[in-house]
Amino acid sequence: MPSQTVDLQDPIFLAHRGGKLRTSTTVPLESREDLSVAYTPGVARVCEAIAADESLARTHTWRSNVVAVVTDGTAVLGLGDIGPAASLPVMEGKAALFRQFADVDAVPICLDTKDPDEIVAAVAAIAPSFGGINLEDIAAPRCFDIEDRLKALLDIPVFHDDQHGTAVVVLAALTNALRLQERRAEDLTVTVVGAGAAGVAITKILTEAGVGDVIVCDSSGIIHEGRGRLNSVKARLATFTNRSGRSGDVTEALRGADVLVGVSGGTIPESALEGMADGAIVFALANPTPEVAPEIALRHAAIVATGRSDYPNQINNVLAFPGIFRGALDAGAAQITEAMKLAAAQAIADIAVDGLAADRIVPSPLDPRVAPAVAAAVKAAA
């Protein structure tokens, strides 16, 4: 039973009535001859050819242009663990974005299990129907293990967008913020608040991009090698972050920091921002409520970004994932590498160079130039 009364005549509910997706044919089905070509008996010849040479599935089925959008419904938007059925509208929306921005077909797959072994087995079993796997809204830390295992098992790209899509756009935004300020990545101290899926991936890509030091802070404070009770993912983070060996809370983590990236869903007090370096950059990305209100952040920072569409500088994954998959599919790539992610971030950043300003460090999510530019960069880097 629903916990609250909803108005099914509300425009939002009317827009979602019947779902947001449908399939359509690419061949005519008007005559007996059409049927014999698209289906039996003609289709049997194609099946036999693929059985003899499986590579033909790439060119003679939809496989080379279709992605599975897979979730278990455990970390949906800011709603948390709402289950597979309730996650379906989000997965439909994700599939619609693939189609709109990159001409990639996508199918929502909402799995009724939270068991990593079962998720891996289910995705591996359906993989022959797809050219790529987009993992979505799977809670940390299970999401890391699930992605790693699927990447090892499959010969098609596997990409957890909550991790890598967010990380790519953060890097693009930071690249342009540094362009504006004429600063170098290697001179920065970046504090990442939140060590879930996005926080871990952001930390890795910023390190790969040459950022001087990254300090990661979770709900228990700064992650460092001497801290107890770290899971395996956080223990790994501790080996290549926080080079100054800091410990303490978020205020200590932000002392002297050049950049704050918030992906925690919590609240950061204004007093903590007061200790940041001059010309600070603040990305408060929790959605719908940023870790610190942009109006407050601007008292202490020169450049501010959020995850919201009603403020400037929206860090939106739609800038990344459609073009990344388009490029990977066009290249016939077996995986999406770090080099491909870095290339995607640079392509996004370069789109915004014309008209670059403190309130315009990333392109609009609706900019039609973005996905083709990202796809071309990713294909070249594959």
Active-site residues, by number, are 39, 94
Angle at 270 between CA 268 and CA 273, to 5 degrees: 85
Cis status of the peptide bond prior to 128, with omega within 30 of 0: no
> Which are the contacts of 348, defined by CB distance < 8 A and separation ≥ 6?
168, 169, 172, 319, 320, 362, 363, 370, 373, 374
Angle at 185 between CA 216 and CA 382, to 5 degrees: 90
**Centroid of chain to Cα 274:** 30
Q: What is the DSSP letter of 193?
A: E
For residue 187, the one-letter residue type is: D
65 contacts 104 by C-beta, under 8 angstroms:
yes
Token pair in block for residue 364:
């609009």
Q: Which helix (H) or strand (E) holds 7?
A: none
